[in-house]
Amino acid sequence: MSEQAAQPIPAGWYPDPDNSGRGRFWDGTAWTDLYHTPGQPYPAMPAPKAPPGTNWNTIWIWLIVAIPVLPLIMLMLVPWGSIFAFDVNDPYAATYASLSIFASPAYWLSLLLGWAVYGLNVFFAYRDVKELTGRGVPQPFHWAWAFLSSAVYVIGRSVVVKRRTGEGSAPLWAAIGYFVLSFVVVIVIMVMMFSGMGDLFRQIRTS
């Protein structure tokens, strides 16, 4: 038994090559620091590892990271400033302006895209787990976590895949980039709304 063995050896307890009187745990790729003395309880089992060289990268995880950007883009196209763009001398203008958002195609498209992205991300997570399992990644992060949110799945998946293969943190960093983009979009929407408020206040002062 050695790390250079020609054939992969299943993970399990084997006689310690350095001490014939005890057992040592082989994780499928290398000896661990877990030892067992006959007659004593076995120590806690380590997390299972994927075979060396297992590819963690799938198209599904990148779709999960990428497609939530679409509703964000639509939100940026909504005329948020129009809420405050009305004639202060018209008693009904404020009501019409507050409802103007619902007349925006971008607003409804962002809502529809949001629901579509939610459903697609659950499906993509299912496909991602199935592909990881087929590649030999043991006990991948369960796809059902995507029902909570795509971010939960991406974070959990990245942590678990990192433990199983030693790699796979890139989607996590991409998800962090998405959070930053979301923050930027919120700032842009707030700027648009404050700009409309500024126009409204100038109109009030001159009326």
Domain boundaries, the chain: 1-46, 59-206
Percent with pLDDT over 70 in the chain: 84
* Per-residue pLDDT at 6: 55
Strand partners, 31: 26
| Alpha helices by DSSP H, 135-169 | 150-165
pLDDT band at 131 (very low <50, low <70, confident <90, very high): very high
Which range, 62-66, 94-98, 192-196, has the best average confidence (pLDDT)? Answer: 62-66
pLDDT band at 7 (very low <50, low <70, confident <90, very high): low
Strand partners, 16: 19
* Per-residue pLDDT at 43: 83
pLDDT tens digits along 14-54: 988 887 788 998 877 788 888 888 888 888 776 778 888 89
pLDDT reading at 198 higher than 90:
no
- Give the Cα separation of 156 and 168 in Å (integer): 11
Query: In the predicted model, what is the mean pLDDT of the chain?
Result: 84
Say if pTM beats, i.e. exceeds, 0.75: no
Which residue is listed with tokens 């498209």?
Answer: 109
Average pLDDT over residues 83-95: 67
Q: Which residues contact 123 (CB under 8 A, 6 or more apart)?
A: none
pLDDT tens digits along 146-189: 999 999 999 999 999 999 998 999 999 999 998 898 888 888 87
Packed helices 59-66 and 170-206: angle between N→C axes, nearest 10 degrees:
10
Task: With beta carbons less than 8 A apart as the criterion, state whether 128 and 142 touch.
Answer: no
pLDDT tens digits along 30-40: 888 888 888 88
- As given in the structure block, the two tokens for residue 86 are 């009305």
E-state strands within the chain: 12-16, 19-26, 31-36
pLDDT reading at 123 higher than 80:
yes
CB atoms within 10 A of CB 196: 19
CA-closest candidate to residue 27, choices 42, 41, 8, 40: 8
| Residue 37 φ then ψ, to 5° | -95, 130
pLDDT reading at 2 higher than 90:
no
